[in-house]
Structure 1
Amino acid sequence: MQVNDEGKPSVGWKVLGVLSMLMGFASISTDVYLPAMPAMARSLGASNGMIEYSITGYLVGFAFGQLLWGPISDRHGRRAPIAIGIVLFLFGSAGCALAGSAQAIVAWRLLQALGAAAGVVIARAMVRDLFVGPQAARVLSTLMVVMAVAPLVGPIVGGQVAAMAGWRAIFWLQVGIGLFNLATLYTLPETLPVAQRHDGRLLDVLGHYARLVREPRLMAYAAGGGFFYVGMFAYVAGTPFAYITYHHVPPQLYGLLFGVGIVGIMGSNAINARLVARHDSDTLLLWGTTLAAVAGVGSAVAAYWDVGGLWGLFFTLFLFVASTGFIVANSIAGALSDYPGQAGAVSALVGAFQYGSGVFGSGLVGLFADGTPRPLGFIMALAGVGACVGAAMLTRVPRAVRLAA
């Protein structure tokens, strides 16, 4: 393995490619099966809300998994925990494919999420191992552009697979993707040297989390990203039924509408990667959350009064989703910048806040499902305004003092 002048592994396109695939596990786990959700409800004799809880269950496992894998990777290195996580993902995906009820799907999704979380949280920590400051934010944005290919083509592929082979085939496809990622793991260098690892007990880890949650600036980053993820997973759980059931979009075309939103994410990440060299990442975060707030309120208006029909709802939701590029990378990079010695734990905590908040988004959409897009629009508005308030808190909180490793 080659190293650079600072003694760190040299970063080539192959390494960045593997990291982008690992960070894309969350999208691979969910976006591919979105077009099949109405068909799953019919096949399993379940309500729309019960099938939407499969996303909620996934988010519960994903949030908890990040809290677990972050400290493990700080203690044992990055590569081995990722491999274990992929194996758990494989079992969870196979379980979903063989499940006979919606409740079983929810349970297997929990295991699937625990495994997928390892790839996402540890990949972010590996970026922090290799890059610092604005460069880390720029690399995260670049990786998000690359990994956006998965959710761009995922619903399109998922719709076609479901049409040809049924919804269970989608989960077997996820098994194949997991096996491919496991095979490519050998190309990934270990980015955390033994000398920089932390030998702590579980109680020490919990104590460190307790210290982190008392950092106001870190919590401001977590709040900005967390509220945004409430809206994002309300969008993920609610749009299959808003588009397919309410607005009568064919399942095979749902992926195209979803894919346009992903193109928006790719575009905003590309713009953010350029702007972060000239503007403070906190400023870009505030710009992004402001756009999310405006778009969220607009989606509530479009959904409640049916303004513009399908296209009115689609346009406002597109603007909300497109703000991702200014919110996710900057909130994560900002949170990591003050705690370079605890990249795994901080990445885990921020990720847990974000995906844990998504539980409320998908859960509320399922709880208040009434056959219309109105609950979706209301939750998007609440999420956008909350994210904006969280980002604005950064202007009132002094930069955190770095915790000792």
Structure 2
Amino acid sequence: MKTNIVEVNQKSQKYLGEKGLIVLIAFLSAFIPLSTDLYLPALPRMAENFNAAPSLINLTLILFFIFYAAGSLFWGPLSDKYGRKRILLIGLAIYTLSSALCAISGNVYQLIWFRIIQAIASGAATAVAQAMVKDCYSGRKRVSVLAIVTSMTMVAPIVAPVVGALILRFTSWRGVFMVLAIMGLLVTLAVIALEETIDQRSNGSILQSLGSLGVVAKNPGFMTLLLTFSLMAIPMMSFISSSSYIYVNQFGLSEQVYSYFFAANAFFMVIGPLLYMKISRLVKPVWLITASFVIACISGAFISTIGIHGPWLFTLALIPATLAGSITRPPSANLMMEQQRGDTGAVVSLMTFAFTVFGSIGMIIISLDWENRVLVMGLMYIVFAAASLAVWNRISKKSFVQHVLNKAG
């Protein structure tokens, strides 16, 4: 949309307003870290409760991401056809119900199935949230909003483990899922107040709407950028899935202390996007992205060497990679969204799908029976940051990259 954003929001968001819309988008974008990080401190306790191996309990996390990725593929295109609001309401209703069912699971296999349903529904929240950003914003304003939304979203990894650990002091892991059900209900009420953001809906059939995924996938500029930025999800998500085992089991910390270390790392996820908006006025975005891959590679070397010797050294070694990755999120998302005219739902669905699939690969790798998970994680950062850097160096001078970065700079 080329209309001034303030006018659009004042006109279309009668109840939420511009700030309310941004907060809603941020909360929808945070569904995944909230749905996963909130119960991370409970993973070791859940294994004891169900008398199940950690690898089986980890399936509640790994399969969540796999089916979330699959679900996000169809929610986005469907929102192009039926509208953002309708799809959000359907997805949130399923999410709320499945969260409540997780809380009353009788065994680990029931929990896994209900988590799969919850994961599929979660795709509606995140895919539609990103599509709404493109519906309403353009140019540097869009990058600015993406930075704000990303920073607000990254508050979830800081708050969620701490809140999860506090919940565990008063109740069991089942209480964590009841909190998620209540959260789903509250967000549903907010979406009821949302005015539709999509300007033009797809007129084709459902199959034609889903076929837009293939149209976008044939765009070489989009797919190259998608591969470049999705590779870093592998080491990043390996940390998310294994952090409680590393801090609690390997380093011997309590669940509460673990949550503080996790929150400290997540803090740098929050400031990264805001830092990008400041630095990008002084340094070219293309150089910032290049530097982020170099820093992640160096950070991986520190993780695999000094990070294995204790929780403080591990955290300090990991922070540079975390900060570097979060700095690139606003420009990378904008770069990918600008590669395709129309089919916004399909674009963000493929972005979500790719990031989640690559992240799931990292989760599967780190969940294998390694003697030292910290060492493996550091090596993954080195390998995949170097691979992303190599691809980025080849495409960063291309016109389809330079045009977008110059327009948003």
- The verdict on a shared fold, with TM-score over 0.5 as the criterion, is yes
Q: Distance in 2 between matches of 1:345 and 1:169?
A: 35
Report the equivalent of 1:89. Answer: 95
Report the equivalent of 1:145. Answer: 151
Displacement after TM superposition at 1:56 (Å): 1.1
Answer yes or no: is the 8 Å Cα contact 1:44–1:100 preserved in 2: no
Q: Distance in 1 between matches of 2:21 and 2:374?
A: 41
Report the equivalent of 1:349. Answer: 350
Report the equivalent of 2:407. Answer: none
Displacement after TM superposition at 1:381 (Å): 3.1
Q: Distance in 2 between matches of 1:205 and 1:300?
A: 45
Cα 1:143–1:48, aligned 2, differ >3 Å: closer, same or farther? same
* 1:66 has 2:67 as partner: no
Structure 1 segment 17-166 matched on structure 2, within 5 A: 17-166=23-172
Structure 1 segment 154-303 matched on structure 2, within 5 A: 154-193=160-199, 196-277=200-281, 279-302=283-306
Answer yes or no: is the 8 Å Cα contact 1:138–1:273 preserved in 2: yes
Bigger Cα displacement from structure 2, 312-321 vs 167-176: 312-321
Deviation per residue, 1:248-303 (Å, 9 max, x gap): 11101111111111210111111112234555544433332222222223222335
Cα 1:37–1:140, aligned 2, differ >3 Å: closer, same or farther? same
Displacement after TM superposition at 1:372 (Å): 4.6
* 1:358 has 2:359 as partner: yes
Answer yes or no: is the 8 Å Cα contact 1:148–1:265 preserved in 2: yes
Equivalent residue letter for 1:309:
G
Cα 1:211–1:148, aligned 2, differ >3 Å: closer, same or farther? same
Answer yes or no: is the 8 Å Cα contact 1:70–1:122 preserved in 2: yes
Report the equivalent of 1:335. Answer: 336
Bigger Cα displacement from structure 2, 20-29 vs 224-233: 224-233
C-alpha RMSD over aligned residues: 2.3
Q: Distance in 1 between matches of 2:197 and 2:230?
A: 28
Equivalent residue letter for 2:167:
V
List runs of 5+ in structure 2 lacking aligned partners: 11-16, 405-409
Answer yes or no: is the 8 Å Cα contact 1:132–1:337 preserved in 2: no
Q: Distance in 2 between matches of 1:99 and 1:382?
A: 39
Displacement after TM superposition at 1:342 (Å): 2.0
Answer yes or no: is the 8 Å Cα contact 1:233–1:362 preserved in 2: yes
Deviation per residue, 1:153-182 (Å, 9 max, x gap): 110010111122011111111111111111
Q: Distance in 2 between matches of 1:222 and 1:177?
A: 31
Displacement after TM superposition at 1:89 (Å): 1.1
Report the equivalent of 1:316. Answer: 317
Equivalent residue letter for 1:134:
R
Answer yes or no: is the 8 Å Cα contact 1:290–1:384 preserved in 2: yes
Indicate the SS of the match to 1:26. helix
Bigger Cα displacement from structure 2, 352-361 vs 51-60: 51-60
Bigger Cα displacement from structure 2, 56-65 vs 310-319: 310-319
Structure 1 segment 366-385 matched on structure 2, within 5 A: 366-370=367-371, 372-385=373-386
Displacement after TM superposition at 1:13 (Å): 1.0
Bigger Cα displacement from structure 2, 10-19 vs 357-366: 10-19
Q: Distance in 1 between matches of 2:390 and 2:5?
A: 42
Indicate the SS of the match to 1:197. coil
Cα 1:282–1:107, aligned 2, differ >3 Å: closer, same or farther? farther
Displacement after TM superposition at 1:368 (Å): 3.5
Q: Distance in 2 between matches of 1:102 and 1:285?
A: 42
Q: Distance in 1 between matches of 2:397 and 2:110?
A: 46
Displacement after TM superposition at 1:21 (Å): 0.6
List runs of 5+ in structure 1 lacking aligned partners: none
Report the equivalent of 1:12. Answer: 18
Cα 1:136–1:268, aligned 2, differ >3 Å: closer, same or farther? same
Displacement after TM superposition at 1:202 (Å): 4.4
Cα 1:393–1:26, aligned 2, differ >3 Å: closer, same or farther? farther
Deviation per residue, 1:219-269 (Å, 9 max, x gap): 222123211111121011111101110101110111111111121011111
Bigger Cα displacement from structure 2, 377-386 vs 224-233: 377-386
Q: Distance in 1 between matches of 2:365 and 2:196?
A: 40
What TM-score results when the alignment is normalised by the length of structure 2? 0.89
Deviation per residue, 1:363-401 (Å, 9 max, x gap): 111124446533333333333333333433422644189
Answer yes or no: is the 8 Å Cα contact 2:78–2:210 preserved in 1: no
Q: Distance in 1 between matches of 2:306 and 2:108?
A: 31
Equivalent residue letter for 2:301:
V
Q: Distance in 1 between matches of 2:101 and 2:241?
A: 21
Displacement after TM superposition at 1:115 (Å): 1.3
Q: Distance in 1 between matches of 2:263 and 2:65?
A: 22
Cα 1:174–1:283, aligned 2, differ >3 Å: closer, same or farther? same
Q: Distance in 2 between matches of 1:141 and 1:201?
A: 35
Answer yes or no: is the 8 Å Cα contact 1:53–1:106 preserved in 2: yes
Indicate the SS of the match to 1:188. coil
What TM-score results when the alignment is normalised by the length of structure 1? 0.90
Q: State the aligned residue count.
A: 395
Answer yes or no: is the 8 Å Cα contact 1:282–1:334 preserved in 2: no
Answer yes or no: is the 8 Å Cα contact 1:290–1:388 preserved in 2: yes
